[in-house]
Structure 1
């Protein structure tokens, strides 16, 4: 398989990054024998797990992206009494039952961060760290993003703002890069980028010791705004203004609107119909990311609906071929 860190160096002229990414993914798909899944599910909370279980029961090839905690919200719940059939259980206890269920069904949770998802017509291409996956349909079950984007973040996305440092770092060889890290894992990205960039600034948005190479400059400050006209020029913080060529924002997950270009949103939620369909053909959404109420049983039910409709969509495509 061709790695993004190698092939992305072909990107030497300035044009729309989304179109470039789609062309790149198409090239990789043609050059490599990329394994295609029936359903790719983003998120390992109740909605994502329910979707995976129901798709597997219907003999679909599933890839599920999530994390070892399944759902941070679930982990923090002291007591749950409204999950049918399971009375008086903690969030951790329910998590263990979920894990036991998916283990019995041989469903693996890929602990990798999905950076972007593009509709390629008959399939979806998923950029995951430096790898690529393909799926006929996608189910978004990534939860709800409560934090607002920085001023200038959406405007300059693809013009110096990015969410995958390891993917885009070769574009900034010999330049100045700033990384805003919301998780410890972002430190690995910063260390990698420092091998290519002339200068790396790192803003840790979490508590605890930071383990970085000695020539990375740590800035104990909070970001306010990303500045620039047609590309990133500065990152404004509470205390300073940092001159930089790129700003990478590294979180556990990327907001749906930034993850899937063209995805229709209803404020902070993904807009869906009664069948959990989004405005993009073959893309479905379930759980908290699809709207209130933020309830575990509601999420699980929507995950099932999304999976059943994704199965119907896939079967229709196969029938017409």
Structure 2
């Protein structure tokens, strides 16, 4: 089989699928087994793609494969292209085009249920699929979703985002530990023991603490479930947002107000490119639902009182 891209059709879908398999497995043999191809065929396909792009996507200089900087940047583009192709050929979605909304944790906070219910009432022909994906952009850069609810700053290229509201932070501590009985806590109260950090989807890093008062030790996990389990087991404390306390109750975890931590912006992000036609309606509805919340409305002014 000739793996070289032809002049009329320089890159085919199989080249992208082969690269993505290698990027996921970081092993040619496992990638070949996943694609049901031979190892030489995958190697030739990958080499042909690299020749066409004029860059190295995979570093083969070590015993273990690794993506180059160009490979990391290309992976999201390739994943988006493959996802769009598969979506277009999904016969079950020819008549309905679901709007996929990703989140890494806590979704839209207290507004999650109102958003889903109101959307169903107003747009019954366009299902709104809420997908939890343990990834900093909740699958948005990989093309797995059309939009994403994210927390904290997002630096991924090719995305645009707007702040919908700001959440206060809370401390998450072991339910039967001494900190759970306190009416409120400060960051310094958590720094004496280990702090559990969700490095994949969370927003808390050691930079939340002043340089001279950072936690004595940290424990890193990859998702919200492991974060809760570690705290419940007494392996450390954590910092999250108020919506985590509402949407992720846990018998072994107590959430306590945190007095001196800055709030976390909740963003609605999308790719900076043409996308799902119902994205403008999603943005408008999200704003509308937040505006319904009396706690977020500006206080009413008495007659003659100047604006606050």
Taking structure 1 as the reference length, what is the TM-score of the superposition? Answer: 0.29
Greater relative contact order structure (CA < 8 Å, 6+ sep): 1
| Structure of greater Rg | 2
Taking structure 2 as the reference length, what is the TM-score of the superposition? Answer: 0.30
